Amino acid sequence: MGFKEVLSKVKKSDDYKKFESEHSEAFLYAGFFVINELGQTEQQQLDFYRGHGKVRTFILGADEKGNEILTAKDEEVAKNNDVAPLDQEVSLELEEVKEIAKKECAKEGMPINKIIAILQKLNGEQVWNLTILLPSLFMLRLHISMDGKVIERKKGTVFDLMQKKDKNPAVS
């Protein structure tokens, strides 16, 4: 399921309608998706910023019988996070992003174990921010613009990520 379909399902829900009526100033600022090695989306989440560091997260999932369920929870974001509204009419969907990720991983000669895909604004530009987990604790980080261009590409290990986190405890 792509971003647009998840957004549509969330917006049609009673939970979202109630949230929107109570928080008219809220705006969508991030989409979060986890994709497994088979290309199946394991997690679908949309985050709406309410102001003052408060976020309502809507998670679209399934129960043990496979029935679609939507859960909502309130969270807080780190004070140093740059929160900007997303353009909801995305021109690059999740399926296309997966194909770009496959091509980039083929350059490394490694299969994909998992993709963590975040739709967000970075430096004023809406991008897909991917962390791709590869075999042997390698990872590939990509920023993909809405026209499908890879604008940033970094290869590293999971340990690189852990070292950054240790050096700056404010980063999550």
User: Is the predicted pLDDT of residue 43 greater than 70, yes or no?
Assistant: yes
| Strand pairing report for 125-133 and 54-62 | unpaired
Q: How far apart are CA 78 and CA 135, in angstroms?
A: 31
pLDDT of residue 166: 55
- Which tens digit of pLDDT belongs to each residue from 82-139? 789 999 999 999 999 999 999 999 998 999 999 999 999 998 999 999 999 998 889 9
The domains of the chain are located at 3-19+27-167
* Both tokens assigned to 106: 């083929």
pLDDT of residue 117: 97
User: Is the predicted pLDDT of residue 172 greater than 80, yes or no?
Assistant: no
Residue 153 binned pLDDT confidence (cut-offs 50, 70, 90): very high
pLDDT of residue 82: 74
- Which tens digit of pLDDT belongs to each residue from 53-95? 899 999 999 888 888 899 999 998 866 667 899 999 999 999 9
Q: What is the pTM of this model?
A: 0.87
Other CB atoms within 10 A of residue 149 CB: 11
Would you call 111 helix, strand, or coil by DSSP? coil
